[in-house]
Amino acid sequence: MKYGRIRDLREDRDLTQKQMAEVLNCSQRIYSNYERGDVDIPTEILRKLAEFHHTSVDYLLGLTDETAPYPRRKG
């Protein structure tokens, strides 16, 4: 996983770690651990991060360099 990506996305929006932690409903310390790569990010948190930053989980995981999210399925 490219942990620097979630830090870069947060900084691009001029948000603090505390503000991002509030969005994700976790502590600043846990969020900091996510950014540093000290702990694996749970799937649900990855989904929330991708939705919040309008990108894909694949981008957050470093599987693609395309920042655009995938189109949503209908129905």
Residue partners of 38: CB distance under 8 A and separation at least 6: none
Evaluate whether residue 39 is within a structural domain.
yes
Residue numbers of the domain that contains 41:
3-61
Q: What is the CATH number of the domain that holds 41?
A: 1.10.260.40
In this prediction the pTM is 0.88
What does the DSSP 8-state code read for residue 49?
Answer: H
Give the pLDDT of the chain (75 residues) as one tens digit per residue: 667 899 999 999 999 999 999 999 999 999 999 999 999 999 999 999 999 999 999 999 999 998 888 887 776
| Per-residue confidence (pLDDT) for residue 9, from 0 to 100 | 97
Does some domain include residue 11? yes
Output the CA–CA distances (angstroms, integers) from residue 20 to 1, 7, 12, 55, in the order listed.
19, 10, 12, 16
Question: If we measure between CA atoms, which residue out of 36, 27, 26 comes closest to residue 5?
Answer: 36
72 within a domain of the structure (yes/no): no
